[in-house]
Every structure is written in C-alpha cells, then in structure tokens.
Structure 1
Amino acid sequence: MWLKILGSLLVIIASVSLGFMLAAQYAERPRQIRQIISCLAALKSHINYTAIPLPAALVQSTGGITGPVAELFQAMASLLADNGLTPQAALNQALKDSNKLVLHNPEREVLSVFSANLGGMNREEQHKSLDLAQEQLSRIQYEAERLCEQNVKMYRYLGICGGLAVVIVLV
C-alpha cells in the first residue's frame, strides 16, 4: 500500500517537473530574444560612435546582461580575438558550443546572416544591417511571445494531468 503511494507520488512529481521544464523553455525564448535585441542595439552604438575592435565591442555590448546570451556574445568575442575567425564562423561556433540557449532556427538564421555582414562593410551599411536584424528579431520575438502564452499553460497542465492519468492507470 505504502509502496503504491510512494510510486504514485514519484510519477506525479516527475511528470509535473517535466511539464514545468518544458514550459520554462517556452518562457525563456522570448526573454533571450529580447536580450539579443538589446545587445545588438548596444553593438550598433559601439560601432557608430566608438572606434574599438569588434571583440571589445561585443564584450561591451553585453553590459547589464547575464546568462546564456551574454555568454554567447563573450564567446564570440573570444573566438574572434584568439582564433582569428570571421564573425560568422565565430558566431556559428559559439552557437554550437552554447547548450543553454533556447533559440530556434529563425533566430539562428537571422544572427548568421547578420554576422556574415559584420565587419565587412562600412559603418552605415553595418548600421542598416543591425537595424534589419533587430527588426527581424522583433517580429520573431512577437511570435515567440504568442507561442509562449499558448504553450506555457498547456505544458504545465499536461504535466499535472499526464502524471495523474498515469497514476490512475497504474493503480
């Protein structure tokens, strides 16, 4: 009897935690996109108004931001400074190495196209490229927030109800 109760509690706890972890990923994605947009805005000002190397501008653009997005930009800066990679290769390598980011393909593609143009143009063209990347990421952020509103509650309820359903079937 006690073994059944303990097993049931463990199944419910596992399913609820799984549901909440999936919901947290959907809630984290719009926040990370907002942080990337903020970093790109700071990078735009560093490119337009200061004459510092790109790795230093990338590190300074993460001021006030912590977490996976700041780590992405700092890893990109270190790859640019240490390995002499192109900005696009450095970003792609940093994206590959980062396992905490919950970015999907549209965001990764926008960042990849943006980084291909980074450092290879004059300031005005880079300013336009940064504006375009920010605009595209804003649209993606809107869509991610819409998906977040839909899916966060669903995954939480699904975790709870799924755990209860498994317990009822097993008992």
Structure 2
Amino acid sequence: MWLKIIGSLMVITATACIGFNLAAQYIERPKQIRQLISCLSALKSHINYAATPLPEALNICTNGITGPVADLFHTMSELLTTNGWLTPQAAMEQSFNEVNNLVLKKSEQEVLAVFSANLGGMNREEQQKSLNLAHEQLSRIQYEAEKLCEQNVKMYRYLGICGGLIVVIVLV
C-alpha cells in the first residue's frame, strides 16, 4: 500500500517537474530575446558613436545583463580577441556551440548569424542599417515568443501534473 502511494507521488512529481521545466523554457525565451535586443542597442551605440573596437564593444554591451546572453557575447569577444583571423560570424557560431542554457530557437540564431556576417565588414552606416534590421526582426520574434509564452506556460504546467495523475490512475 505504502509502496503504491510513494510510487504514485514519485510519478506525479517527475511529470510535474517535466511540465514546469518546459514552461520555464517558454518563460525564459522572451527574456533572452529582450536581453539580445538590449545588447544590440548598446552595441550599436558603441560602434557608431564611440568607435569602439568590436571585441571591446561586445564586452561592454553586456553591462547590466547576466546569464546565457551575456555569456554568448563575452565568449564571442574572447574568441575574436584570441583568434585574430576569426570572422565575427564564425565567432558567433562557436559561441552558440559553447554557451549552454540558451533557449533561443533557429529563427533568432539565423537573425544573429546574418547580423554577425555583416558585422565588421561594412562601413558604419551599413552596420547601423544591419543593426536596425536585426533589432526589428528580434522585436517581432519577441512579440511572437511572448504570445507563445502566454498560451503555453499554463498548459505545460497543467499537462505535467494531469499527465502524472493519468499515469498513476492507469497504473493503480
């Protein structure tokens, strides 16, 4: 009897944790996109107005931001500093591979890949246009991510708990 109760509680706890982890990813994605937009805005000002070198600008643009997005830009800065032959696009791709806990989807990664391909290879006006385009695209993606967050967070939480209850009922 006690074994069934303990087993049932373990199943419900496990499925609830899965549901809450999935919900946390939907909560974290808009936050990371907002941080990306903030970093790009700071990067834009450092490139256009202060004429800061790219690795230094990447480090400075993450002031006030912590977490995986800051790690992404710091890693990119370190790669550009240590490997002078590395392009910004290659540094961004390597940074994506090295940084954990990023919940960005393919669309955000593609926007950043296109942005980093244009970074450093053009004059300031063209880079400003590229930054503005990336900012607009990320803003649109952020809006969609927030809508998905509102729709799916409660669903995954309830699904985790209810799924565990269904499994327990079927097994008992």
Task: Work out the CA distance in 1 between the residues paired with 2:101 and 2:73.
Answer: 13
Partner of 1:166 in structure 2?
A: 167
The sequence identity of aligned pairs, in percent, is 74
Letter in 2 for 1:23: A
Tell me if 1:107 matches 2:108: yes
How far, CA to CA, are the matches of 1:16 and 1:161 in structure 2?
8
Residue number in structure 2 paired with 1:50: 50
Unaligned ranges ≥5, structure 2: none
**In 2, Cα distance between the equivalents of 1:19 and 1:123?**
46
TM-score, scaled relative to structure 2:
0.98
Q: Deviations over 1:24-55 (max 9, x none)?
A: 00110000000000000000000011122100
**1:47-126 paired onto structure 2 within 5 Å:** 47-84=47-84, 85-126=86-127
Q: TM-score, normalised by structure 1?
A: 0.99
Give runs of ≥4 in structure 1 deviating > 4 Å.
none
- Cα distance between partner residues in 1 of 2:55 and 2:155: 41
Aligned partner of residue 100 in structure 2, secondary structure: coil
Map 1:135-146 onto structure 2 (within 5 A): 135-146=136-147
> Residues 27-46 of structure 1 correspond to what in structure 2 (within 5 A)?
27-46=27-46
Q: CA RMSD in A?
A: 0.6
Alpha-carbon distance in structure 2 between the residues aligned to 1:71 and 1:30: 17
Separation (CA, whole Å) in 1 of partners of 2:83 and 2:10:
48
Shift of 1:135: 0.2
Unpaired runs of 5+ residues, structure 1, are none
* Count of matched residue positions in the alignment of Structure 1 and Structure 2: 171
Cα offset for 1:106?
A: 0.5
CA distance in 2, matches of 1:92, 1:143: 24
What SS does the corresponding residue of 1:127 show, helix, strand or coil?
helix
